[in-house]
Amino acid sequence: MAKKKKPIDEDIIIISKSEQKRDHHELQDLAEVLANFNVNQRSTLPLDEELLAALRLADKIRGKHDAYARNLRFVAKQIATLDVEAIKFGIEKIKNRHTIAAFQSSKIEELRDNLIADASQIEPLLSEHEALERQKLRQLVRNASKEVKAEKPAKSYKELFKYLKDCVTFE
């Protein structure tokens, strides 16, 4: 005689044990990445004080294999209580900071060249970025375009780049 099956409530999501293990291993890998970061890099991430204390302990016991592994499992459990996606985003930002800086630098160079070629682009730029000063920007663009036309050393050209780099941010 077959056993009667109980009706399964459709609101409950059943996660297989192997999927739980995969998720836990992913959190452990994330904990190891965090443990390999230095204190300054960790400070930029959205981590709570208890997790930071556990990571400081991991730094101290790195040479003791079993204790270090146990501590990383604890760190993984702590990470599970936080916003994992925000932490992953912060880690990617740290890992790709050179790529991001190169991208921003090329965008600023392109913006500078466009301003020198066409000074009418100053007004839309000023409306997008309130940190820019109208008079200073116009003066730098005017001087840089004169230098480019006269083929002089690019003093204002470099100053314009530095000013834009300081005031304009790209997301």
CB atoms within 10 A of CB 144: 22
Question: pTM of the full predicted structure?
Answer: 0.56
Contact indicator for 121, 114 with CB cutoff of 8 Å: yes
pLDDT band at 147 (very low <50, low <70, confident <90, very high): confident
CATH code of 18-95, in short, is 1.10.60
User: For the segment 150-164, what is each residue's pLDDT rounded down to a tens digit?
Assistant: 887 778 888 888 888
Q: Is the pLDDT confidence value at 3 over 80?
A: no
Model confidence pLDDT, tens digit, residues 125-137: 888 888 888 888 8
The mean pLDDT value for 7-23 works out to 79
pLDDT per position as a tens digit, 83-97: 889 888 988 888 888
3-state SS assignment for residue 1: coil
Token pair for 90:
């912060």
Residue 164: the pLDDT is 87
What are the sequence ranges of the domains in the chain?
Answer: 18-95, 97-167
Please determine, for residue 44, whether its predicted confidence score (pLDDT) is greater than 80. yes
What does DSSP assign to residue 6? P
Task: Name the 3-class secondary structure at 168.
Answer: coil
DSSP 22-78: HHHHHHHHHHHHHHHS-HHHHHTS---HHHHHHHHHHHHTTT-HHHHHHHHHHHHHH
Tens of pLDDT, residues 59-84 = 888 888 899 999 999 999 988 888 88
Does residue 27 carry a pLDDT above 80? yes
Decide if 18-95 and 97-167 have a common fold. yes
CATH class label, 97-167: mainly alpha
Enumerate the H helices of 81-133 as residue ranges.
84-95, 97-117, 122-128
Reading the block at residue 140, the tokens are 């730098």
